[in-house]
Structure 1
Amino acid sequence: MSYRAEYEGWKSDPEGYWLKQAQAIDWVEPPATALFDRGNDFYEWFADARVNTCWNAVDRHVERGRADQVAIIHDSPITGTQSKTTYAELKGQVASLAGALLAQGVATGDRVIIYMPMVSEALVAMLACARIGAVHSVVFGGFAANELAVRIDDCTPKAIIAASCGLEPGRVVAYKPLLDGAIEMADHKPDVCVILQRDQHPCDLTDRDVDWHACQEGVKPAECVPVAGNHPAYILYTSGTTGAPKGVVRPTAGHLVALNWTMKNIYQVDPGEVFWAASDVGWVVGHSYICYAPLIHGNTTIVFEGKPVGTPDAGTFWRVIAEHDVKSFFTAPTAIRAVKREDPKGLERQKYDLSGLRALYLAGERADPDTIEWAQDILGVPVYDHWWQTETGFTIAGNPAGLEALPVKIGSPTVAMPGFDVQILDEAAHPVAAGELGAIAIKLPLPPGTLPTLWNADDRFRKSYLTTFPGYYETGDAGMMDEDGYLYIMARTDDVINVAGHRLSTGAMEEVLAGHADVAECAVVGVTDALKGQSPVGLLCLTNGVNRPHDEIVAECVKRVRDQIGPVAAFKQAVVVDRLPKTRSGKILRGTVVKIADSEAFKMPATIDDPAILDEIKVALQTIGYAKD
């Protein structure tokens, strides 16, 4: 079936479409009704069903001939070790840990925080919670104690599962002091902490702690516990360091149906093949595409502990793909840019046979055309950008290559997936014409697997997502759609800047800057301008080995923007920096840069054209370690 026929089939009968997709899932009690309208723009999918996620991700594959198939490959270039876990072995490990959790008093509906590095046991912990109907909340390993504490207080876990440490290139991160500090800060106290001791840095245990292996000894393995279709599978907190975190709730049944659909239709893999998402279990990509989707679909998934460069070299990604015969590879543009910056000619890639790779998938931030073209050239496979959010859990807009590989238009994550009625709206919530910039919104209801609300925060859910455009989910992104239905994500709505009355996309300027041969990575932010309201400033990271005068490169970049976007952009200034301020997931901290540029030190009766302001921006960036001397 073609993409267009599939999409129109969904649109003509949304509930029938998703009930058909639900047939691929093993149900204890199958859904009789697809969609439940709870009123006030709240919806639930398959709420009348009963099902277990762990059964669908593990047990059913064992029963149907995949017991000896490898389910998880753990590859750690940091430790120089690899291990493989079959589906039969995974079932035994998960059932054993689930039994230990039951013995520690964890019951269906209880919350369990998981604070783990990139080890196979992180997936075992997630699946063990799913097996008994506990609601897990994975927190990125190594998050500061305060970040962990606010999550403890919000979801009030019965137990916390953690490791003694995490590993990063050149250093060991001790988790236990962070965990103990977080529990001390938090008002809520968990009953028990299950600690996986790692050889690289074992820790001392307190009276609250039990050892991962010791607590499983002599305990009866747990069977799968059926839960309602609308039972929370997990809570995942969106990133952010101020205020109460937003706990995205993932409903069990819709999660199973949607993720299973994506593995073949988007990522074009069949059961038994190897799929690799180079992310972290602490992020939504790790939930959806390291743990759940590949295992639900019967694939082999890779848990990778390392970085794209420096572990040990810029060929690490290509080595993993070649050694494990990866068919589809998913990572963030930041990771590919890091490889490109270190090895711009792709010499490391030439060492490996990547003939089994079908495609590279990019998501998590804007994928600039230069990075996509570079990756296409050195890999010799299609590079598919696609766009989704923590809130949705799977692709909003992408290239459904397993259904029909659509032509790639570089700069577009391509078209809306079944379930998502994507619209571009103006400030009055009216659709704009093709090619015009506006706010990206999705007509309600959202499809199965997307967030039905925030954890214990219905009012905040409505305020955050449903009030700006009544009847729509507000994505927070700005963009446009062309006449073929291809979507273009230009910026967060907060990053659309107003320069002398003209609404301009920082993303469009970034695309132009990234096309410069010497620029490895860049960001454009709008800073306060006394004359024009806002003016764009570029931050440029240069490709490894570039030693030309920075003034020359800046002048060339300014000319590129002027030539390709026009004088209306008023782009006149850029700063060469050593690295960009980023979140732990690799997203640029634009707000941090803007705050630096808009601080009181820069409040002077001059436009941003004043070189003194640019000098102060550079000094400010140097003080936090980002700019070159």
Structure 2
Amino acid sequence: MIYTDQYQAYLDNPEQYWAEQATALAWFKQPETFLQPTGNGTYCWYPDGELNMSYLALDYQIEQGRGDQVALYYDSPVTDTKEAITFSQMHERVVRFAGALKKLNVGKGDTVVIYMPMIPEAAVAMLACARLGAVHSVVFGGFAANELALRIDDAEPKLILTASCGIEFDKKIAYKPLVDKAVSLARHKPAHTIVCQRPMLKAEMDPARDIDWYEMQQGVEPADCVPVKGSDPLYILYTSGTTGQPKGIVRDTGGYAVALKYALHNVYGMKAGDVWWGASDIGWVVGHSFIVYGPLMGGCSAIFFEGKPVRTPDAGTFWRVISEYGVNSMFCAPTAFRAIRKEDPSGDLARQYDLNSLRWIFVAGEKLDSSTYYWLDDLLQVPVLDHWWQTESGWPMTAPMMGWDQPSAPRLGSTNRPIPGYDIRVLDGDGTELEPMQSGNICVKLPMPPGFAWSIWRNDERFTSSYLTAFPGYYHTGDGGYKDEDGYIYITGRTDDVINVSGHRLSTGEMEEVVSAHAAVAECAVIGVTDELRGQVPVGLVVLKAGVEADEAQLERELVEMVRDQVGALACFRRVIVVQRLPKTRSGKILRAVLRKIAASESYKMPSTIDDESILPEIETYLKRAGFIGA
């Protein structure tokens, strides 16, 4: 298949294109309606088809002769645990646990909150809910109790599924007290908390409400798959909202199943029997789409990893996993590779392992800076492929199509061209489409493709106001950027990552690209601070590579000159502050919005996704010393 032919076929007739893709699935009842308006400005795909995601991920794979193939390789360097779980073994665990949930009166349409670490039981829980037609909502393990309480009140789950603890490096984080506090804070009270006791830390149980994970499964009848409609919800996944109230993105079953099967094979180039690694967590959309559902539906063996890219035990952990399991392709955020590079700048640890199984690496989640790209490209000698998508999309929006005969070639700085299903336009503030190379708002012409979220849980109006109102007829991604003459998309950052310097709107992402290219810089964030004369000026917060000792004044001069040369004097980039670390989410994204608020002396809400709260006072101290905020 050739990109231009496929993309044109989609543009000519989107409904027919996606009707053809749906034939790749094993439906219980084939859909007769392919595209249907929802009434809130969006569209639902395959609403009258009948299927079950647990069946597609497990039963169907066994029927195809893959029962003895490994479904999940569980690798936990933080607990020194490894396990290879076949499709048949995974099926056995899921049908038994689904039977236990059914005995507790969990059925089609009920909601269940899953608050768990990266252990196989978490995947079992997701698939068991899907088997019964119940709607799961996975909340990232370790979220603060008040954040979990907000999600409990919104989702109103019948049960909470949790574990006694999670592991962060060598630290045990007790989950059960967090769940108990969340339940006490929430208005809605789930009937029970199901607790998976881990050997390294046992949770105290309340006999009136708490149930042991394994004891509840004794003597239960295994549960059959419950057919659900294509329009029935599979899960709720909460993402941050600008109001502080999380948005429960709703994913339908039919469109999502078609999109994942399509993406795994066409976008990522995976075939049944391949080994795939989505290096993320089930608490995020990547974990749903490309750790659990997508790889299993595609007949792949998936890596289920509990650990970090460094300090578990060292910065060679990723290379060890690739070598040990023969990983053919993986997905990861650039920040993980920057962390590895910071600890092992010359890549010596990678050279200790046989990485010949690796065909290519996909990165997404934040901007792939050129220095990280070149480091990976030189070290691994395989294609390093940037692509772009969102929690709302559920699967990639731009990418090279590695499953096709002629994938679109990568271009440094671009996340590649739109995938069939996404008619991406760049609009100015008035909604007028811009010419190539002109920066504006990245928007997608409706209808969105299968798998894309089409509502917020019990709040259609909020979905419409958040995504569909600013540019009628389009989904507003919230990202800024431009297209080149060949249709390649360049994401310059969130539209609120633009600063106004003397009337010039400048992307901090472009400046970060330049700063991160310096040989001494491991990672950086450029933020705008208030300036009486120019309105705003950029300041670079820089983390040095491990072992690098730099004269900070000299480093500042070099970086200022680099930005002046590559962005221009109008950027007024003149200040650099060397910091020990930058605040990030648990999935590795730098919290730039919070950095901006600190620099502006504005109040901010502690982000629920922050990895280490203690970093924020450190940044405030640096900015005070530099004179950017009052002492």
Give the TM-score taking structure 2 as reference length.
Answer: 0.95
In structure 2, stretches of 5+ residues that fail to align are 604-616, 626-631
Residues in 1 aligned to 2:620 and 2:197: alpha-carbon distance in whole angstroms: 44
Residues in 2 aligned to 1:107 and 1:263: alpha-carbon distance in whole angstroms: 29
* Ranges of 4+ aligned residues in structure 1 off by more than 4 Å: 615-618, 620-623
Aligned to 1:81: 81
Alignment of 1:378-457 (within 5 A): 378-403=379-404, 404-457=406-459
Aligned to 2:245: 244
Residues in 2 aligned to 1:336 and 1:547: alpha-carbon distance in whole angstroms: 21
- The reply on whether 1:63 has 2:60 as its aligned counterpart is no
Aligned to 1:291: 292
Q: Deviations over 1:262-319 (max 9, x none)?
A: 1111111110110001100000011100011001111011110100011011110000
Q: Structure 2 vs 1, CA of residues 138 and 94 (structure 1 numbering), >3 Å: closer, same or farther?
A: same
Residues in 2 aligned to 1:225 and 1:154: alpha-carbon distance in whole angstroms: 25
**SS of equivalent to 2:64:** helix
The Cα shift of 1:28 comes to 1.1
Residues in 1 aligned to 2:356 and 2:408: alpha-carbon distance in whole angstroms: 22
Aligned to 2:558: 556
The Cα shift of 1:241 comes to 9.1
Q: Deviations over 1:187-231 (max 9, x none)?
A: 000011111000010111112111111001111000000011110
Q: Structure 2 vs 1, CA of residues 241 and 145 (structure 1 numbering), >3 Å: closer, same or farther?
A: farther
In structure 1, stretches of 5+ residues that fail to align are 602-614, 624-629
**SS of equivalent to 1:82:** strand
Q: Structure 2 vs 1, CA of residues 186 and 621 (structure 1 numbering), >3 Å: closer, same or farther?
A: farther
Aligned to 2:609: none
Q: Structure 2 vs 1, CA of residues 240 and 469 (structure 1 numbering), >3 Å: closer, same or farther?
A: closer
Aligned to 1:542: 544
Contact kept in structure 1, 2:442 and 2:481, CA below 8 Å: yes
**SS of equivalent to 1:591:** helix
Aligned to 2:316: 315
User: For structure 1, which segment, 33-42 or 501-510, has the greater mean C-alpha deviation from structure 2 after superposition?
Assistant: 33-42
Aligned to 2:352: 351
- The reply on whether 1:267 has 2:268 as its aligned counterpart is yes
Contact kept in structure 2, 1:575 and 1:618, CA below 8 Å: no
Contact kept in structure 2, 1:147 and 1:241, CA below 8 Å: no
Alignment of 1:479-558 (within 5 A): 479-558=481-560
Q: Structure 2 vs 1, CA of residues 93 and 569 (structure 1 numbering), >3 Å: closer, same or farther?
A: same
- The reply on whether 1:172 has 2:172 as its aligned counterpart is yes
Residues in 2 aligned to 1:619 and 1:234: alpha-carbon distance in whole angstroms: 42
The Cα shift of 1:240 comes to 5.7
Residues in 1 aligned to 2:193 and 2:242: alpha-carbon distance in whole angstroms: 24
Residues in 1 aligned to 2:602 and 2:366: alpha-carbon distance in whole angstroms: 30
**SS of equivalent to 2:166:** strand
Contact kept in structure 2, 1:361 and 1:385, CA below 8 Å: yes
**SS of equivalent to 2:65:** helix
Aligned to 2:461: 459
Residues in 1 aligned to 2:160 and 2:402: alpha-carbon distance in whole angstroms: 39
The Cα shift of 1:242 comes to 5.9
Q: Which amino acid counterpart does residue 129 of structure 2 have in structure 1?
A: C
The Cα shift of 1:243 comes to 2.7
Q: Which amino acid counterpart does residue 275 of structure 1 have in structure 2?
A: W
Q: Deviations over 1:164-201 (max 9, x none)?
A: 00011120000000000000000000011111000010
Q: Deviations over 1:224-257 (max 9, x none)?
A: 0001111000000003696321000000000100
The Cα shift of 1:400 comes to 0.9
Residues in 2 aligned to 1:617 and 1:132: alpha-carbon distance in whole angstroms: 47
Contact kept in structure 2, 1:309 and 1:338, CA below 8 Å: yes
Give the TM-score taking structure 1 as reference length.
Answer: 0.95
Residues in 2 aligned to 1:152 and 1:621: alpha-carbon distance in whole angstroms: 38
Contact kept in structure 1, 2:279 and 2:305, CA below 8 Å: yes
Residues in 2 aligned to 1:150 and 1:499: alpha-carbon distance in whole angstroms: 38
Contact kept in structure 2, 1:596 and 1:620, CA below 8 Å: no
Aligned to 1:373: 374
Residues in 2 aligned to 1:188 and 1:266: alpha-carbon distance in whole angstroms: 41
Residues in 1 aligned to 2:407 and 2:77: alpha-carbon distance in whole angstroms: 34
The Cα shift of 1:42 comes to 2.2
Aligned to 1:3: 3
Aligned residues: 610
Contact kept in structure 1, 2:579 and 2:619, CA below 8 Å: no
Correspondence for 1:579 among 581, 585, 599: 581
The Cα shift of 1:360 comes to 0.7
Q: Which amino acid counterpart does residue 598 of structure 1 have in structure 2?
A: A
Residues in 1 aligned to 2:385 and 2:481: alpha-carbon distance in whole angstroms: 18
The Cα shift of 1:406 comes to 2.4
Aligned to 1:364: 365
User: For structure 1, which segment, 377-386 or 525-534, has the greater mean C-alpha deviation from structure 2 after superposition?
Assistant: 525-534
Aligned to 1:612: none
Give the % identical residues: 53
Q: Which amino acid counterpart does residue 464 of structure 1 have in structure 2?
A: S
Q: Which amino acid counterpart does residue 66 of structure 2 have in structure 1?
A: R
Aligned to 1:607: none
Residues in 2 aligned to 1:528 and 1:590: alpha-carbon distance in whole angstroms: 15
